[in-house]
Amino acid sequence: MAGMRDFAILFVHLIVTLARLARPGGLRSVVAESVLVRHQLLILNRGRKRSPNLRAADRIIAGLCTSVHALSACPAFRHRSEGKCCNCGSGSVAV
């Protein structure tokens, strides 16, 4: 039953695509949609870098180190929106 439904949907898409091809600029429209869908599939299927699983103690230590660095090494830390220290250029942001 589901196979027949999928076949009907595929047939309707074929008819709609043929109708779009018949219009002026139809080939461009169909190719552009195809490229867009392919790009979306690439983005959805690409791997993501995951952060390591940290214990609560590890997260606290990392937060303290970041805070100490921001207070001691970068006293003139002004540009929080840029996410950079003013003197050392590291990416730490004071919390």
Report the alpha-carbon distance of residue 38 to residue 41 in Å, rounded.
5
> Between these two residues, 79 and 9, which has the higher pLDDT value?
9
User: CA torsion angle for 73, 79, 82, 86 (degrees, to 10)?
Assistant: -30
Report the alpha-carbon distance of residue 83 to residue 81 in Å, rounded.
5
Distance of CA 1 to the CA centre of its chain: 37
Domain spans of the chain, in order of start:
2-44, 56-95
pLDDT digits (tens, 9 = 90+) for 12-31: 999 998 998 999 988 998 89
Report the alpha-carbon distance of residue 4 to residue 7 in Å, rounded.
5
pTM score, two decimals? Answer: 0.41
